Amino acid sequence: MTFRYQEIAAHLRDRIRNGTYRPGSCIPSIRELMREFGVARDTVRDAVSRLAQEGLVTPKLGIGTVVRDNSLVTLAYRKDHVSQTWAVQTGEAEEVGDVIVQAGWDVADPHIKERLGLPPGARVVYRVRHQRKGADLCQIHEQWIPEEVVLAIRDATGVDLSDQSVVPPTDLFTLMRQSGSSPAEVMEAIVARMPGVEEGETLGLPPGVPVLITRRITVDSQARPLETSVFTGAGDRTSLSYTVPLPAEGAA
Amino acid sequence: MTFRYQEIAAHLRDRIRNGTYRPGSCIPSIRELMREFGVARDTVRDAVSRLAQEGLVTPKLGIGTVVRDNSLVTLAYRKDHVSQTWAVQTGEAEEVGDVIVQAGWDVADPHIKERLGLPPGARVVYRVRHQRKGADLCQIHEQWIPEEVVLAIRDATGVDLSDQSVVPPTDLFTLMRQSGSSPAEVMEAIVARMPGVEEGETLGLPPGVPVLITRRITVDSQARPLETSVFTGAGDRTSLSYTVPLPAEGAA
DNA sequence: GAGTGGTCTAGACCACCAA
DNA sequence: TGGTGGTCTAGACCACTCT
């Protein structure tokens, strides 16, 4: 049971893989492919849209269907304990920028409170950070910090995390240490799924690109939660890397 | 600029979110939706296929279009140092099974040799393991082990890793320790992308489900590579979790 | 057999983009 | 202005599944 659109898709896949159609250039137009394979328009479109779903091509209105540069996703194994590296999609290293787009007091979801071990009425500071690589948004970082931690940091360092306009002099973990709490461990859980419509738009994702979701809890040496975060990254630009020391006995 | 198929998709999304269409049940048939919205068949199909791409529904031939159970992916933050937990998709915990589907000597890709720090001519043992949850294949584990390590394990423990029929008495890391090499650290890099055709088939993935790819290098205390692996997991069934101790200074 | 989704056609009009 | 992909129609036949 093989269909016309599958055959066409397979042909196009081969030509992309063997370099007949090069990354960055366009495959033949729908109308040309209709002629070449002798099929109706929707059959070609079906084939092309499968390739788009696989992330091989990106149709561009008024331009053509361009072959995506799937080139080497990361492979930079780093010795950092907690590091997030950006995959070089095409071209060279670009400036990585951080912008706090939102910050303020909030009454968190029950969901978040559970992760922070907080009682129902508790207040938290909610911060949203956009991480850019060049012009493109690569990752959205949402963060929830318990009131207690926020106040301790304000008292000890004068930094008000609920103020969006304040650019902290150092990173959050250092601020925590300066205010008496010592972040000892992070627990992260990673999941991949297809983006919703608004996620796809804000991240500027072409069709066929999933999002990588990382949920983090940071705890101190007494296992008290100091912070929790959700990172939402563009799957084709984000690569997460971990270096983990092995315990006495481990699993293969 | 809003189109009919987008409106229809939005309607259906709402009804799924507010529970009008429940997980596991079917949304109305294409022909019913044609009548309800007064559009042609392909317009409805377009709307439905968008929902499928987002992972909200899975069309089933001869049955209908069933609402996917997107239920809470994991959230079991574990204290294990290296752990991989399976998300409970629906129903309860099922048996997790491991099958070695391939094992033997191989001349590895340059790619793999680079990761293992091996010279061009070096031999490795290549092993492929399928990990199942119940009846479904959840993850494919490809592993490359340098000849030196394989021989040391054979000499010290009698276990021949190149023999597919041999079921090792313990896990690989233990075998390594018993043969004089001490795995000290793993480095893992995680990436998400849409599956290729054959990946989607072997993993039995419905449309709209990405794969989670983990590349691992295990090294001993002298930073010598002992093993490298690629894990390919179904994005909707796999959740990776890490617990990482924080160094003296860290990044937020 | 009745209903389902999957494939396919041959037209049509539209918005977008480059020259 | 001419080419591109995006949307949409109103038909058709197919394979699959359940009863």
Q: For residue B23, give the DSSP letter.
A: T
**pLDDT of res. B248:** 56
**Residues B106, A18, A57: CA angle, nearest 5 degrees:** 115
State whether A249 and B172 contact (CB < 8 Å): no
End-to-end CA distance of chain B: 40
State the number of CA atoms in the 13 A half-sphere of B128 facing the CB.
5
Alpha carbon distance B132, B140 (integer Å): 9
Helices (H), A108-215: 110-116, 147-157, 172-178, 197-202
Which residues contact residue B31 at a Cβ distance below 8 angstroms, ignoring those fewer than 6 apart?
A: B41
With pLDDT > 70 as the criterion, what percentage of chain B qualifies? 85
Q: What's the number of CA atoms in the CB half-sphere (13 Å) around residue A29?
A: 6
8 Å CB contact of B171 and A75: no
Asked whether residue B221 carries a pLDDT value surpassing 80, the answer given is yes
Chain A residues in contact with B238 (beta carbon < 8 A): 191
Taking an 8 Å cut-off on Cβ atoms, the answer to whether A187 and B77 are in contact is yes
C-alpha A115/C-alpha A215 separation (Å) is: 10
Q: Which residues pair with B164 in a beta bridge?
A: none
Strand partners of residue B65 = B27, B59
Lowest model confidence (mean pLDDT) among B105-114, B122-131, B154-163:
B105-114
Q: In this complex, do B235 and A186 lie within 8 Å of one another by their Cβ atoms?
A: no
- Hey, is the C-beta of B248 within 8 angstroms of any chain A C-beta? no
Residues 6+ apart with CB under 8 A from B165: none
Smallest Cβ–Cβ distance between B246 and the set A186, A197, A235 belongs to: A186
- Residue B112: list chain A partners with CB under 8 A: none
Query: What pLDDT shows up at residue A96?
Result: 57
**pLDDT score, position B134:** 64
**For A189, which of B173, B196, B239 is closest by C-beta distance?**
B239
In this complex, which residue's CA is closest to the C1' atom of nucleotide D3?
Answer: A62
d(CA B177, CA A249): 9
pTM: 0.84
Beta-carbon contacts below 8 Å between A and B: 189
d(CA A182, CA B224): 33
Q: Which residues neighbour strand C (beta carbon < 7 Å)? A: A 3-6, 38-43, 46, 61-63; B 1, 26-27, 29-32, 41-42, 45, 48, 59-65
B43 nearest nucleotide via C1' and CA: D8
Cβ-based contacts of B236 with chain A (< 8 Å): 193
Would an 8 Å CB–CB cutoff place B232 in contact with chain A? Answer: no
Helices (H), chain A: 4-17, 30-37, 41-53, 110-116, 147-157, 172-178, 197-202
Q: Within chain B, what is the greatest distance between any pair of CA atoms? A: 74
pLDDT tens digits for range B48-95: 999 999 989 999 999 999 998 765 444 333 333 333 433 333 333 445
Which residues partner with A183 through β-bridges? A220
Q: At what angle do helices A30-37 and A41-53 cross, to 10 degrees?
A: 110
Mean pLDDT of B22-37: 93
C-alpha A167/C-alpha A190 separation (Å) is 28
CA distance to partner chain B, nearest, from residue A129 (Å): 11
Q: Which residues touch strand D (CB under 7 A)?
A: A 1, 26-27, 29-32, 41-42, 45, 48, 59-65; B 3-6, 38-43, 46, 61-63
Based on C-alpha coordinates, what's the Rg of chain B?
23
- For A118, phi then psi, to 5°, come to -105, 150
Across B215-232, average pLDDT: 93
Q: Which nucleotide is nearest to B7 (CA to C1')?
A: D7
As a whole number of angstroms, the distance between CA B184 and CA B161 comes to 21
* Structural contact between residues A219 and A187, judged by C-beta atoms closer than 8 angstroms: yes
Residues from chain A that touch B70, judged by Cβ atoms under 8 A, are: 193
Q: A131 is written with which tokens?
A: 């991480």
Residue A221: CB partners within 8 Å, gap ≥ 6?
A: A182, A184
Mark yes or no for CB contact B208/A194 under 8 Å.
yes
Q: Is the pLDDT of residue B107 over 90?
A: no
Q: pLDDT at position A97, please? A: 67
| pLDDT tens track for B143-188 | 999 999 999 999 999 999 999 887 777 789 989 999 988 899 888 8
Compute the Cα dihedral for B151, B153, B157, B163 and give only its sign: negative
Phi, then psi, of A165 in degrees rounded to 5: -80, -15
Considering only residues 147 to 206 of chain B, which have any Cβ-Cβ distance to chain A shorter than 8 Å? Answer: 171-174, 183-197
Element (H, E) at A190: strand A183-193
Task: Return d(Cα B24, Cα A7) in angstroms, integer.
Answer: 33
Average pLDDT over residues B13-21: 92
CA torsion B24-B27-B31-B36 (nearest 10°) is 170
| Sheet-wide strand order for A124-133 | A96-106, A124-133, A136-146, A225-234, A211-220, A183-193, B238-245, B82-86
B210 touches chain A (CB under 8 A): yes
Q: Mind listing the pLDDT tens digit of every residue in chain A (252 residues)? A: 689 999 999 999 999 999 999 988 999 999 999 999 999 999 999 999 999 999 899 999 999 999 987 654 443 333 333 334 333 333 334 455 678 899 999 988 888 998 899 998 899 999 999 887 666 788 899 999 999 999 999 999 999 999 988 777 778 998 999 998 889 988 888 889 999 888 888 888 888 899 999 989 999 999 999 999 999 998 877 888 887 777 655 444
pLDDT value of residue A10: 93
For residue A155, the model assigns a pLDDT of 95
Looking at every residue in chain B, the average pLDDT score rounds to 83
Mean pLDDT of B209-231: 92
Nucleotide nearest to B48 (CA to C1'): C5
The one-letter amino acid at B87: A
DSSP β-bridge partners for residue B127: B103, B143
Q: Which residues of B touch A173 (CB under 8 A)?
A: 246, 249-252
Reduce the DSSP state of residue B187 to 3 states and report it.
Answer: strand
Q: Give yes or no for A105 touching B (CB within 8 A).
A: no
Confidence of residue B123 (pLDDT cuts 50, 70, 90): very high
Q: Quote the crossing angle between the two packed helices B4-17 and B41-53, to the nearest 10°.
A: 50
